[in-house]
């Protein structure tokens, strides 16, 4: 099972147009692809799919895999590149309905029988049945740290070991759950002392995830670059993989008048901010899954609310209208593309 990626000749076109162009190509190329896959020709699908996927974006990676419900799955993935995750999901959202032959996924899916899989790492095949893992869950953490070893790792360089480990983890958990629940990843030349068969990883992750199956918020305190006190609240855990299509950052900045000696809101301003946040929540709920409030922070006489939305969402217009009602100074609403959620990197768990 190999992965393929090719350089694109046209990265300048609108992403939506490139996605639409792919599916137009798919409709015309499918008969030839079906025939090649049925005949077991590994080279022909690469010849056909490589340039077509690269035309969407050269950083996307594609693969063919057994389907869950269909005979085959076409996976087009960002392969861990947070900047491309929303594009991969837009590609999948625009796909035709699955049928008996094909289904489509924007990330690698977990295998139902990972212990029976043989994967390819730098031209060397390795079976997941011989992969072992050292697993550690740091106290209070939401992730599982993984040390991986396979007998072939002694034949691989450091980068190839990591590639093999990531590919194996994707088959064990699915690519999205690796992003959600796996922390530090260390490919090891020797087996860890407490190694267990890799097939146990999903059970360990399920135990960790079970404690965090409801929405939570945390309050954080810190200092700004100038040393002023800062108070923030954020969703917990906050992970962009849970909102793959929300690729635009909307920062709503509200200046406030009533402050304490450190510049934090108090009294009337604190009440006004609370009332504004309630109205903000109503607007966001009306917009549905196209938008989410990720975090907000107060410092130096300003509160900044970090909202993420799809590029098609009406959130920016709605929040600009709402911000115009703020009475304690001139509110700002800044909208920028941010598929990796870099604006709230400090809050990601």
> Is the Cβ–Cβ distance between 268 and 325 less than 8 Å?
no
Calculate Rg over the CA atoms of the chain.
23
Show which of 190, 210, 230 is a domain's final residue: 210
pLDDT recorded at residue 327: 96
Assess if residue 28 is contained within a domain: yes
Sign of the Cα pseudo-torsion (231, 342, 165, 36, in order):
positive
Average pLDDT in the 270-293 region?
96
Residue 153 placed within a domain: yes
Residues 234 and 294 in one domain: yes
pLDDT confidence of 98, banded at 50, 70, 90? very high
Q: Residue 10: pLDDT above 60?
A: no
Residue 187 lies in a domain: yes
Same domain, 61 and 121: no
Counting beta carbons within 10 angstroms of the beta carbon of residue 178, is it exposed (0 to 12), middle (13 to 18) or buried (19 or more)? buried
pLDDT at 80: 87
With contact defined as beta carbons under 8 Å apart, do 161 and 169 qualify? no
- Is the pLDDT confidence value at 287 over 80? yes
Judgement on whether residues 45 and 120 belong to the same structural domain of the protein: no
The share of the chain scoring above pLDDT 90, in percent, equals: 80
Q: How confident is the model at residue 213 (pLDDT cuts 50, 70, 90)?
A: low
Determine the pLDDT at residue 115.
86
Same domain, 80 and 135: no
C-alpha span between 223 and 346 (Å, rounded): 13
Same domain, 201 and 221: no
Considering the domain architecture, whether residues 227 and 328 belong to the same structural domain is answered as: yes
pLDDT exceeds 80 at position 105: yes
Is residue 3 in some structural domain? no
pLDDT at 87 (0 to 100): 96
> Between β-strands 144-149 and 118-121, what pairing exists: parallel, antiparallel or unpaired?
unpaired
In the listed set 159, 194, 210, which residue is the last one of a domain according to the structure?
210
Give residue 214's pLDDT band: very low, low, confident or very high (50, 70, 90).
low
Helix/strand/coil for 237: coil
pLDDT in tens, 54-75: 999 999 999 999 999 999 999 9
Chain-wide mean pLDDT for the chain? 92
pLDDT at residue 204, rounded to an integer: 93
Q: Which residues does 60 contact at the CB level (< 8 Å), separation at least 6?
A: 5, 53, 54, 76, 77, 78, 79, 84, 87, 88, 91
Residue percentage of the chain with pLDDT more than 70: 96
Assess whether pLDDT exceeds 60 at residue 3: no
Question: Is 6 part of a structural domain of the chain?
Answer: no
pLDDT at 11: 47
What band does 40 get if pLDDT is binned at 50, 70 and 90? confident
**pLDDT range class, residue 13, cuts 50, 70, 90:** low
Are 179 and 224 in a shared domain? no
Asked if residue 56 belongs to a domain, the reply is yes
Which domain does 261 fall in, by range?
216-347
pLDDT of amino acid 155: 86
Would you say residue 211 has pLDDT above 90? no
Do 187 and 139 share a structural domain? yes
Strand partners, 306: 251, 295
Residue 229 has pLDDT above 70, yes or no: yes
Tokens linked to 265:
């809101």
- Record the tokens describing residue 90, joined without a space: 């837009």
Query: Which pair of tokens denotes residue 158?
Result: 């450091």
232 and 295, same domain (yes or no): yes
Q: Is pLDDT of 255 > 70?
A: yes
pTM for the structure as a whole = 0.88
Q: Would the pLDDT of 275 be above 50? A: yes
* Domain-located, residue 10: no
- Same domain for 172 and 205, yes or no, is yes
Instruction: Note whether 233 and 319 are same-domain residues.
Output: yes
pLDDT at 133: 97
Taking alpha carbons only, the member of 175, 149, 179, 177 closest to residue 164 is 149
Structurally, the chain folds into a number of domains equal to 3
292-343: pLDDT as tens digits: 999 999 999 999 999 999 999 999 999 999 999 999 999 999 999 999 999 9
Is the pLDDT score of 48 beyond 80?
yes
The answer to whether position 150 is within a domain reads yes
Q: Of the residues 84, 105, 126, which one is the last residue of a structural domain?
A: 105
Shared domain check, 92 and 75: yes
């Amino acid at each position: 099972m190999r992965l393929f990626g090719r350089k694109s000749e046209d990265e300048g076109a609108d992403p939506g147009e490139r996605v639409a162009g792919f599916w137009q190509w798919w409709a015309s190329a499918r008969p030839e692809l079906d025939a090649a896959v049925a005949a077991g020709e590994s080279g022909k699908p690469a010849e056909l799919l490589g340039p077509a996927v690269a035309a969407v974006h050269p950083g996307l990676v594609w693969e063919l895999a057994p389907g869950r419900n269909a005979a085959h799955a076409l996976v087009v993935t960002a392969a861990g590149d947070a900047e491309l995750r929303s594009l991969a999901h837009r590609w999948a959202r625009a796909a035709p309905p699955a049928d008996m032959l094909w289904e489509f996924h924007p990330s690698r899916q977990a295998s139902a029988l990972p212990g029976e899989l043989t994967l390819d790492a730098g031209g060397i095949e390795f079976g997941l049945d011989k992969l072992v893992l050292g697993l550690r869950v740091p106290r209070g953490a939401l992730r599982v740290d993984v040390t991986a070893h396979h007998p072939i790792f002694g034949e691989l360089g450091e980068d190839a070991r990591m590639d093999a480990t990531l590919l194996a983890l994707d088959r064990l958990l699915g690519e999205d759950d690796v992003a959600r629940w796996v922390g530090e990843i260390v490919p090891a030349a020797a087996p860890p002392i407490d190694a267990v068969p890799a097939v146990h990883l999903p059970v360990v992750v399920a135990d960790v995830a079970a404690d965090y199956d409801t929405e939570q918020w945390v309050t954080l305190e810190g200092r700004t670059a100038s040393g002023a006190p800062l108070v923030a609240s954020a969703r917990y855990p906050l992970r962009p993989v849970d909102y793959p299509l929300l690729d635009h950052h909307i920062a709503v900045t509200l200046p406030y008048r009533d402050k304490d000696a450190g510049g934090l809101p108090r009294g009337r301003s604190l009440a006004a901010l609370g009332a504004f946040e309630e109205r903000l929540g109503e607007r966001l709920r009306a917009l549905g899954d196209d938008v989410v409030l990720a975090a907000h922070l107060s410092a130096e006489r300003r509160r900044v609310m970090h909202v993420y939305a799809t590029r098609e969402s009406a959130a920016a217009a709605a929040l600009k209208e709402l911000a115009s009602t703020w009475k304690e100074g001139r509110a700002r609403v800044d909208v920028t593309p941010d598929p990796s959620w870099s604006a709230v990197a400090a809050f990601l768990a």
